[in-house]
Amino acid sequence: MPSSSTMPLSPDPPFLCADEAAIAGLLDAEPHHMPEKDYLRRCRDRSVDVTARLDAVNWILKVHAYYEFSPVTAFLSVNYFDRFLSRCSLPQQSGGWAFQLLSVACLSLAAKMEESHVPFLLDLQLFEPKFVFEPKTIQRMELWVMSNLKWRLRSVTPFDYLHYFISKLPSSSSSQSLNHFFSTSSNLILSTTRVINFLGFAPSTVAAAAVLCSANGQLPLSFHDRVNDEMVRCCHQLMEEYVVDTCPASVKARITEPAPPSSPVGVLDAATCGSCDTPSDRNFAGPPNKRLRSSASDAPQR
């Protein structure tokens, strides 16, 4: 059976290097593939059950690692999950089955979008879930999710920008450093899915911040003239706080050392889920003045 490590995306062949026009197209499209504008506020004021959300994301990441799905699959699953919840409410008093059903459906949809081999629906339901759903029930949930998302499942993700942003770094010429930046950035991006505060940032901003983190402070002149540098700095700061600071020591070392990682364990065990005032990309009022700490009530219990 596959190991439970996070598989990094292998760098795409040379013909995939995105040009300016392709990046512009992605930047135009990304607002259409994000949760509704008030979703982050609803998560913060607990009208969305963030604990159930975190459980769902953790489960998605575990199954994703078990089957060695691509990082894009995991990110898409969470994207569908959040977009659905931003438009629809699930019953709160359901013992958690509604969230679990939604997470199975979202992971199944993402796998069908991205993977060449997709497990049966019963085989997706790993790690002793409280409920096991019949395929017919999951299919109905898949249809409901797709209808709510207007069948727009080809979401723009931070991974779409990685090659382009990495190419902007001063020391990204060798294939070894490319691999290093790519796998480290991928792991950082995946780990942000657990933290509600990153919902306030566009995929391009998350990608740029992840590349900055993996580059250990090497700053490009600019990632793109349509990517707000202040937003990137703010997202980078959050990333260092919630993702890098809570990584196991080996992962932190991997992020700060230029050598490529020996194994892509990643940062999936990072303790996350804070309630800091992350600015939303859509109504940014300037970066916070201090480094942000998660409040005790929001930090998940270990």
Using CA atoms in the order 227, 228, 231, 237, what is the torsion angle rounded to 10 degrees? 70
Nearer to another protein, 116 or 262 (CB): 116
Minimum Å gap between C-beta 106 and another protein is 12
Which of residues 25, 96, 287, 288 is near another protein by CB under 8 A?
25
Q: Give backbone dihedrals phi and psi of 95, rounded to 5 degrees, phi first.
A: 70, 15
How far apart are the C-alpha atoms of 110 and 154, rounded to whole Å?
A: 9
| Cβ contacts of 296-300, under 8 Å, gap ≥ 24 | 298/50, 298/273, 298/274, 299/271, 299/273, 299/274, 300/51, 300/54, 300/271, 300/272, 300/273
Minimum Å gap between C-beta 140 and another protein is 5
Minimum Å gap between C-beta 27 and another protein is 14
Nearer to another protein, 22 or 126 (CB): 22
Minimum Å gap between C-beta 2 and another protein is 15
Minimum Å gap between C-beta 214 and another protein is 20
* # chain residues binding another protein, by CB under 8 A: 47
Only segment of 16-24, 34-42, 50-58, 262-270 that touches another protein (CB under 8 A): 16-24
How far apart are the C-alpha atoms of 10 and 182, rounded to whole Å?
A: 8
Nearer to another protein, 130 or 290 (CB): 130
Length of the chain: 302
Only segment of 103-111, 235-243, 264-272, 275-283 that touches another protein (CB under 8 A): 103-111
- Is residue 145 helix, strand or coil? helix
How far apart are the C-alpha atoms of 237 and 299, rounded to whole Å?
A: 18
What mask, x for binding another protein by CB under 8 A, covers residues 128 to 157?
---xxxxxxxxxxxxxx-xxx-xxxxx---
Minimum Å gap between C-beta 45 and another protein is 23
How far apart are the C-alpha atoms of 238 and 227, rounded to whole Å?
A: 17
Q: What are the CA-CA distances from residue 164 to residues 6, 10, 52, 82 (Å)?
A: 22, 15, 35, 26
Nearer to another protein, 24 or 271 (CB): 24
Contact 63, 127 (CB under 8 A): yes
Only segment of 35-43, 96-104, 193-201, 219-227 that touches another protein (CB under 8 A): 96-104
Binding interface with another protein (CB under 8 A)? 12-13, 15-16, 21-22, 25, 29, 90-91, 94, 97-98, 101, 105, 108-109, 112-114, 116, 118, 120-122, 131-144, 146-148, 150-154
